[in-house]
Amino acid sequence: MTHDPAIGIHDLSLATTEFVLPHTALAAHNGTDIGKYHVGIGQRSMSVPAADEDIVTLAASAAAPLIATHGSDGIRTLVFATESSIDQAKSAGIYVHSLLGLPSATRVVELKQACYAATAGLQFAIGLVRRDPTQKVLVIASDISRYDLDSPGEATQGAAAVALLVSADPALLRIEDPSGVFTADVMDFWRPNYRDTALVDGQESITAYLQAVEGCWKDYTEQGGRALQDFAAFCYHQPFTKMAYKAHRHLLNYTGHATDEDAARRALADTTGYNTVIGNSYTASVYLALASLLESGQDLAGKPVAFLSYGSGSVAEFFAGTVAPGYRTAVRTTAHQQAVTRRREVDYATYRQLHATRLPADGGDHATAEQTTGAFRLAALRGHKRIYTTR
Ligand code: HMG
């Protein structure tokens, strides 16, 4: 069921990092057969942040085109979803609010639940717009996925931000009721406050994801959702793109559908383009899947698309959206492809140095190396404050 008026994603813009490491370089370093990366997990390259990039600069880069196109009129709420938080108190969204020159009459908040939080932000935004359809909500998902060097997770790193403008009469996607939701207390992946890389039990995390798929699908059907065969495509959270295929196969088995590999591939193939070359962007991943799908050659106008948003720990939500008529005129294909192709390739040694780059742990004053060529930079840490600049 769509809302009256229809509410959903009016515009979507993505940004990623200055640098990229191809999986061939990682494989050459650790002696892994490249087939494991290209086929086994379905990844070709990973976005690597420069020393002067963080979740704020990525988020501002993603959201700036939305403000340039639509202005800030009607935006009274900015929701920043991340699990790569830079502060225990202050929302990263406030820096973005400042960098984009948004009006002071805005509420700004940061949300966290691993990779799931942007979907919570989207649902909260829909509630706000339903209450007052003249309002718009800026939902930004921004994350840097960083695992320990030489760990199994290393090949699934990445970084990106996606900004969504949520409004009535959306030009891209009308979000439907109901949603199916699921929560279970699992220690599959977590990052305690004293660590800057995640702890993960890889196989346990895959099992937890698949259990969550079952749980939120069961709730979705109990809430009166659509039949599985209604959907033209499925956008899954993609920590690595092969995971989407595992999840979909699991859902087909669970619901008693024959696993037709060709049909499964058709339902997912157009959703993996950005995630394959960017890597895990946590909260942004499922919305990168949507960007890939909308920018593919398929004519999706009026068609229902399914979303499976998963965040370790764990929370999942299954929901649907109907692609708006005329959506092709509202997609940002050229800019998005440029964001990916403009990345500069680094060799393995440079990647290792970047991986180790941190602001001083004691908060001492520090000027970052000027590496990014993007519009927003994290220029320094001064008096324990992050200093951002705009080009
Ligand atoms: P691993 O032990 O390095 O790899 O861990 P593997 O041995 O499981 O192999 C991976 C696949 O490659 C297997 O395929 C192999 O057969 C295949 P599968 O059996 O699974 O279909 N393979 C090959 N294929 C072709 N040619 C070859 C070859 N060799 C092997 N030569 C793992 C992989 C994903 C566990 C690891 O990278 C990891 O721990 N990643 C981080 C955790 C993760 O991404 N979990 C996913 C679910 S949890 C989630 O999505 C939430 C998350 O995004 C966080 C959040 O919510 O905040 C992570």
Q: Can you name the residues that pair with 2 across neighbouring β-strands?
A: 176
Return the H-helix or E-strand segment holding 289.
helix 285-294
Q: Which residues are catalytic, by number?
A: 83, 115, 237
Task: Find out whether the beta carbon of 179 lies less than 6 Å from any atom of ligand 1.
Answer: no
The residue nearest atom 29 of ligand 1, judged by CA position, is 36
Q: Assess whether pLDDT exceeds 90 at residue 3.
A: no
Q: Can you name the residues that pair with 9 across neighbouring β-strands?
A: 166, 173
More confident residue, 5 or 242: 242
Q: Are strands 136-145 and 75-81 parallel, antiparallel or unpaired?
A: parallel
The residue nearest atom 30 of ligand 1, judged by CA position, is 36
Q: How far is CA 103 from CA 97, 330, 386, in A?
A: 8, 25, 21
pLDDT at 267: 87
Mean pLDDT, rounded, for 353-360: 94
- 211 CA from centroid of ligand 1 (Å): 17
- 41 CA from centroid of ligand 1 (Å): 6
- 194 CA from centroid of ligand 1 (Å): 26
pLDDT at 260: 73
Mean pLDDT, all residues of the chain: 96
Counting from 1 in the atom list of ligand 1, the atom nearest the Cα of 147 is 41
| Separation of alpha carbons 19 and 26, rounded Å | 14
Residue by residue, DSSP assigns 291-359 as HHHHTSS---TT-EEEEEEEETTTEEEEEEEEEPTTGGGG--HHHHHHHHHTPEE--HHHHHHHHH---
Q: Which of 41-45, 194-198, 323-327 has the lowest mean pLDDT?
A: 194-198
pLDDT at 262: 79
The 10s digit of each residue's pLDDT in 243-297 is: 999 999 999 999 998 777 777 798 899 999 999 999 999 999 999 999 999 999 8
Mean pLDDT, rounded, for 105-127: 98
Q: Tell me the domains of the chain and their CATH numbers.
A: 7-390 (3.40.47.10)
pTM beyond 0.95: the answer is yes
The 10s digit of each residue's pLDDT in 213-254 is: 999 999 999 999 999 999 999 999 999 999 999 999 999 999
Q: Can you name the residues that pair with 163 across neighbouring β-strands?
A: 13, 140
Counting from 1 in the atom list of ligand 1, the atom nearest the Cα of 35 is 26
Mean pLDDT, rounded, for 359-388: 95
Task: Find out whether the beta carbon of 279 lies less than 6 Å from any atom of ligand 1.
Answer: no
